[in-house]
Amino acid sequence: MEILNKKQKIILVIIVSAILIFIGYCIVKKASNNNYEELEIEENEINENIIEEESKIIMVHIVGEVKKQGIVEIEEGARIADVIKKAGGETEEADLSKINLAYPVEDGEKIYIPNKNDKENLEYITEGIGNEKVYNNEESKININKASQVELETLPGIGPSTALKIIEYREENGKFEQIEDIKNVSGIGDAKFENIKESICVK
């Protein structure tokens, strides 16, 4: 067997070194990819945990014309339509035209689903029914803590800009404690309050 000369030895060393460098690069790259995948999995788990924590569960009591009366556990921000669905749906005798199905429910609230034979202005149309109007002695009042902009605009002398100011005020300062607090809204003075006080309520 011929002994390698100096030039061949150098070439052989270069080839072996190149192979070792390539193998080392592949190992490092694979390890980096594994670390990235693990990091991505951890980030996804963290995001899922955050989402779960943000989804607060509330309890609502629903009675009347639903198939399963009682306490319903549901995510915060749910609507009356969602609660009815979770309670097995409405019965054949239910009159859903009397309530606002899009009304957002609150923790601890009691909801009554009326019967077709119920009279229009009885006390069941109150705080728990999910209708943004409260009926009192055949006179409907707007709940300024929950009324939409469109409903607020039905009040005497309240236009789109003032209705929007009312909504912005309650979002920034919380619920109105009494109807007189609406005078804190820019654009609503004593005169305008006198015009609307018989048409509004708080709850």
20 and 69 both lie in a single domain: no
| 44 found inside a domain | yes
**Would you state the pLDDT for residue 104?**
84
140 and 127 both lie in a single domain: no
61 and 50 both lie in a single domain: no
Q: Give the whole-angstrom CA distance, residue 111 versus residue 130.
A: 7
147 and 97 both lie in a single domain: no
124 and 181 both lie in a single domain: no
Domain boundary among 131, 159, 187: 131
| 164 found inside a domain | yes
CATH number, domain with residue 116? 3.10.20
User: Tens digits of per-residue pLDDT, 121-167?
Assistant: 444 333 444 443 333 333 457 889 988 888 888 888 888 889 999 99
What's the rounded mean pLDDT across residues 11-33?
Answer: 73
Cβ within 8 Å of residue 60, ≥6 positions away: 71, 72, 74, 78, 83, 105, 106, 107, 108, 109, 110, 111
122 and 142 both lie in a single domain: no
Q: Give the whole-angstrom CA distance, residue 203 versus residue 26.
A: 68
Per the structure, the count of domains in the chain is 3
- pLDDT-derived band at 94, boundaries 50, 70, 90: confident
Whole domain around residue 27: which residue ranges?
7-54
Q: Which tokens hold the place of 136? A: 């009192």
70 and 99 both lie in a single domain: yes
83 and 140 both lie in a single domain: no
Q: Give the whole-angstrom CA distance, residue 94 versus residue 184.
A: 41
CATH number, domain with residue 174? 1.10.150.320
Rounded (5°) CA angle 194-195-198: 80
79 and 29 both lie in a single domain: no
User: Tens digits of per-residue pLDDT, 39-64?
Assistant: 555 566 655 655 555 568 888 888 88
| 2 found inside a domain | no
| 1 found inside a domain | no
109 and 142 both lie in a single domain: no
**Would you state the pLDDT for residue 125?**
35
| 67 found inside a domain | yes
CA distances 173 to 63, 84, 108, 117, Å, are 33, 31, 22, 41
